[in-house]
Structure 1
């Protein structure tokens, strides 16, 4: 039981009041008592850390009035009603008004303790979820780009520097590295943040459908076009258009997009009337567009038009030191979303997370965090035992355990490859420059 939670008893019968307090205290619960609703009201405020037990019949205001007051202050505070045999109808009305439970006199002390324990467990979970949500609400804007690695520090600085510039931007990175998150941060930090942020995936969409999605159409423009439709570009006017998987955009559409970038105007399908648009385009790709242009699979002029500013997002395996921060962030999200307590992570799970190559990058780590929060198995974790959740704390913090594991892993690879940084970097699947940074960070020597 949460040690900070307590029980407020509202009972005017001194013998009953004393009996309830003693029963709860003998069970290890904190309790205090008052004799009237009027005395209880100043003690109840939003975020009240506990539960209320109240008699129905009291001098002055009755227990039902207290239930309604608590509902107005904080509807998640559990209120348990004590009633006489003749007050069952009032107890039902109290439940409809928001009471958590009711007990009929006379009742045994262990019944009181059982009902109160359930109410306090519910309240503890509610308070923890509220605290998690408050923590998450503070992580806004560029703070959503979680990580302390040099690569992420550079990304955050660049996002802040270019967010309010008028240039279109190309974001490059593997699947799951957070390209849309970067695009959203660019929008949120710009003067365009009050206008729409519109996202469109260019992959797997036929030319005619993509044409209508981007530019809109007039009635009768093609079979089935019964009324005017505003396209994504026009809808994003004044704001930001995020084009994901740009490499899969058909060549014909690339020509039209290039024209929009150059002239800042569109024509709906079936219309010859140009419409001026003020839209910033952030395009994302997982491919090398220049190489695709050399092979004739992408327009070079569109690549160079978008390549004014390019943000390269590193794969998660290239910034393993960010795994603990990302894991904490996603566990907070999952615990809040699923209304679950925040789980502790055991050493074995941490080793498995750090050793994993993360082909799905940050998105895959988020899925793993969801599994940990729900207490279900994920293929990343070893099949034996409860996946990743430990009832107690490890002797080292999460970040310290990660750094210790990463240092030992790098040292082992350097020994295995006779101090060759290049071969070790290939074995660890990270860039040589990244490995050199980590060697310096951990005070290692290639020798």
Structure 2
């Protein structure tokens, strides 16, 4: 990205002044202080995990609490919090959650090649903290979704550099804490990075199996938590779920029909993600949009599915706005989908917090549709055909129109490297494989 451009993108990537950093610090500190003042154990959702750890340390089963929806490895991860004084925990947890959100934004910027000291780096994070309600909600709740917000862009950044095994380790570690990024495993399948996929699966399996041996109820996750999720949770959980499976029955749609609609939408989303990956393309748009489509497809059908889950995909898409390849976040429909998440707007008949799920469902469905259209268009369904070759006046080989790249004998209009009798073909460098040739990548 060049800061010498005369348009808005050039202005955004220029170095930010200290005033912006002061504003950013104040904006990030405000929800941390508020959370420390009005909550206990770092927030309502974090308190559930801490209570489970305290029960385990006392000799009980953490799965006695039906709202504890985590793998056994999360119990051990939360155990240190159970030993920390409550007053200290009230401050440490919102600071840690905010740190994960900032870290995820930094990794997303690095993924798209945006300078970390740029105006956009500061303004983008200010916009997320001030103008995107799930940001403050996540800090207030202390939910462990924050680990996924950090892990997804970090994993994509590593994958973009050809380090798929390291990417699998990062995603796998996040799964061990909260199994939210499981759909990203399909990205490894699309790219045929089997070693990375094995690490992604192996890390949470080994961690959870080892932790389960220390619990009085080793199979409690399968005998209690999974049935609870299959039944759709309880009345308290359903009031805040944003997936069509939970929202449509609240407006009179039969549960079977709602589940069918959600399953079809999720299946179409996975197909769109595969088409986006097969479509190739340079830059970070390919992995970012593919991963975002996979996650949104899962959110359409998963139980539970909350508003702060959107923070997993939105920063990854927004961080690429200064780049020319960020077609999703530069489109009007993306920002229209964000309108229900603007804080402070009182929507008629939706003022009650229990009805906020309808607003979240609108954003989720609109964002999924926006990303899906982008994936399909990039995959070639609506893409314009390449220009036809123009015959040369001398009867020689066809030439391309002025300004078009030379034709590649292998097909398409990609530039063809000059032939050299003294050089032999070399294997490509490590990185994202094309996904269209049907062969696996080189490096892990």
Give the TM-score taking structure 1 as reference length: 0.24
Q: TM-score, normalised by structure 2?
A: 0.24
Larger strand share, 1 or 2 = 1
